[in-house]
Structure 1
Amino acid sequence: MIDAMLEPPAAIQSLQKRAERVETPCGDGTVVWHVWGEGEPLVLAHGAQGSWQHWIRNIERLSESRKIIAVDLPGHGESALPDTPDHTGIAKALAEGLAGILGDGKPTDLCGFSFGGVVFAHLAAFYPDVARRLILVGCGGLGTPNGHVTLRSVSGLRGEEREAALRANLLGLMLHHPESADALAVHMLLPNAKRARLFAADMVLPDKLLQILPRVRCRVDAIWGEFDRPHPEPAVQEAALRSVCPGAQFEVVSGAGHWAMYERPEAFEHALAKVLSIPA
């Protein structure tokens, strides 16, 4: 686990230093991947305006039994924009990158959070040999009503007032419990958002996921936070998903908001293990 005694920058750097960093071609630059552990690969994708750091509370435990490959999606984090800033360009860069990393041609398990789940659905549809299974975590694009999200401007704010606004934004979008908006979450929020160069909303809403899922041939399952703000009412999301993937397993993480794997990491990992135990 991340050492709670470390300051947020040191905690991030500590985990990053233990990773193997891999770069694969993307547009005028590269896709940046971080790899931990050994075993069957599990590929993780973050949400919009995020980076591999969205998985920071899960990587160490997950890498005890799996090879964890966490990507900075094209146009996010340290990764370059793809040749075309759409699902076609993103999927091409990811497929070529995974072929270079894995090398054996075997399909692998993909787990995508929010925008990352929609990206991975398109990857699985366009490059079916890549995906053994697809796990969606709190994804939009199912054609369901948007939830109530509240965000405050932080422009011009300083000190405690700025930190209070950042915590409010985390609670207005990503997290449910006030104590979940801790120093690490606050520290990661703006740097990741500022590095994002791809506008994700049009690639998700209103029903981009719902439209692409019929083309996905691998097994599809989902994990949702009980109090997901942008995509609320898990039962509604489950019904929408099962309208196109009737066999999908749908797990709900009790007490978690949208960023379920950060807010309730062990409960999320239990749900993930349950899904991964289902034969693909």
Structure 2
Amino acid sequence: MHPTLDALEASARRSETPFGAGRIVWHEWGAGPPLVLLHGGAGSWRHWARNIPFLARGRRVLAADTPGLGDSGPPPAGASLWDIADALAEGIRLQAGGVPADLVGFSFGAVISAHVAAHVATGDVPAGRGGLLDSVTLVGCGALGLKREPTPLVPVRDRQGAERVAAHRANLASLMLADPASIDDLALAIQAWNSDHARLRSRGVVSDTAVRDVLPRIDRPLNVIYGERDAIAYPHMEDRIRLFAELRPAARLRIIPGAGHWVAFEAAEAFNATLAALLPLEAAPER
């Protein structure tokens, strides 16, 4: 694996919440108001490896492996995006113990987060979920029905050894990281582990307009973060800015210079500072 990931996993508190006959696995660090992290497609909590230590200084960080990814079990046969969002909403309720959480989702996790927030906002939810969220932050968000450039990916699972590593490196460069120098041993270790454990194809449950369709229904404060060179948005970032201004004019949108799609990893220090400016990252002092 990698020493950074080994240390993070060893320091985590692991728990599970149900989804059908299976489970959603959570890793938890720190103490304070709950901050929920949902990773990207073909990912796991490891997508947040460079953010968790910072965030856990003043928050109870709850990082889920979404169904069919990481350590979590597969979703029930035929499960929809709404079913996955509902299971995550229930998981947040159980984990947070009735304390409203700030929800941060990256890529596929942003799509799920938008649906969790929209589902809660409808009022069509079980009792006890009305105060589930304080805010929603969408990171590297797609599914907006906007133009994006192709991001060709190299098949990995039929390759071994150096060829497999080269394929992971090529895919990180194509989709995830803007600067090839950012593809270090930690990035490769995360990519390899995540790829080996991915069983759900997120594109199978996400439509091209999945987030755009639910944005008007979200009633929580909304934040949006992109890397300036995000492969799913560049060079069409202005289209995203205009769309959020039209559909959610109160949303706070931040662009982190030079960073790619996996902005929380590639520009971790800037991302952490941006999130700290958007969210309260330290518990309020007791009176």
Are positions 1:81 and 2:74 aligned together?
yes
The answer as to whether partners of 1:27 and 1:80 remain within 8 angstroms in 2 is no
Task: Give the TM-score normalised by structure 1.
Answer: 0.90
Map of 1:70 onto structure 2:
63
C-alpha displacement at 1:134, in angstroms? 0.6
d(CA) in 1 for partners of 2:115, 2:156: 34
The amino acid that maps onto 1:111 is V
- Of stretches 16-25 and 152-161 in structure 1, the one that deviates more from structure 2 is 152-161
Change (3 A) 1:49 1:155: closer
Are positions 1:163 and 2:156 aligned together?
no
The answer as to whether partners of 1:35 and 1:68 remain within 8 angstroms in 2 is yes
- Of stretches 220-229 and 87-96 in structure 1, the one that deviates more from structure 2 is 87-96
d(CA) in 1 for partners of 2:160, 2:192: 14
Change (3 A) 1:122 1:154: closer
d(CA) in 1 for partners of 2:239, 2:277: 21
Q: Which of 182, 197, 200 pairs up with 1:198?
A: 200
C-alpha displacement at 1:91, in angstroms? 1.9
What SS is found at the alignment partner of 1:243? helix
What SS is found at the alignment partner of 1:32? strand
* Runs of 5+ unmatched residues, structure 1: 1-7
The amino acid that maps onto 1:217 is D
The answer as to whether partners of 1:85 and 1:198 remain within 8 angstroms in 2 is no
d(CA) in 1 for partners of 2:52, 2:246: 32
The amino acid that maps onto 1:74 is P
What SS is found at the alignment partner of 1:89? helix
The amino acid that maps onto 1:115 is F
The amino acid that maps onto 1:214 is P
C-alpha displacement at 1:94, in angstroms? 1.3
Change (3 A) 1:110 1:155: closer
d(CA) in 2 for partners of 1:174, 1:113: 11
The answer as to whether partners of 2:34 and 2:100 remain within 8 angstroms in 1 is no
What SS is found at the alignment partner of 2:247? coil
- Of stretches 149-158 and 202-211 in structure 1, the one that deviates more from structure 2 is 149-158
Are positions 1:25 and 2:18 aligned together?
yes
The amino acid that maps onto 1:234 is M
Map of 2:276 onto structure 1:
273
The amino acid that maps onto 1:243 is E
d(CA) in 1 for partners of 2:209, 2:278: 24
Map of 1:97 onto structure 2:
91
Q: Which of 138, 148, 152 pairs up with 2:154?
A: 152
The answer as to whether partners of 2:33 and 2:99 remain within 8 angstroms in 1 is no
Report the number of matched residues.
Answer: 270
Deviations along 1:177-224, one digit per CA (max 9) or x if unpaired, are 111111111122133123222221243331110001111111111000
What SS is found at the alignment partner of 1:21? strand
d(CA) in 2 for partners of 1:269, 1:246: 24
Are positions 1:235 and 2:271 aligned together?
no
Are positions 1:255 and 2:248 aligned together?
no
What SS is found at the alignment partner of 1:25? strand
Q: Which of 43, 49, 59 pairs up with 2:42?
A: 49
Deviations along 1:75-104, one digit per CA (max 9) or x if unpaired, are 11111233452122112211221222121x
The answer as to whether partners of 1:140 and 1:205 remain within 8 angstroms in 2 is no
d(CA) in 2 for partners of 1:153, 1:118: 24
- Of stretches 209-218 and 75-84 in structure 1, the one that deviates more from structure 2 is 75-84
Q: Which of 134, 137, 140 pairs up with 1:135?
A: 137
Higher relative contact order (CA 8 A, sep 6+): 2
d(CA) in 1 for partners of 2:58, 2:157: 43
Task: Give the TM-score normalised by structure 2.
Answer: 0.88
Are positions 1:208 and 2:210 aligned together?
yes
Map of 1:172 onto structure 2:
174
d(CA) in 1 for partners of 2:23, 2:162: 37
The answer as to whether partners of 2:42 and 2:198 remain within 8 angstroms in 1 is yes
The answer as to whether partners of 1:210 and 1:241 remain within 8 angstroms in 2 is no
The answer as to whether partners of 1:225 and 1:234 remain within 8 angstroms in 2 is no
- Of stretches 238-247 and 108-117 in structure 1, the one that deviates more from structure 2 is 238-247
C-alpha displacement at 1:39, in angstroms? 1.1
What SS is found at the alignment partner of 1:127? helix
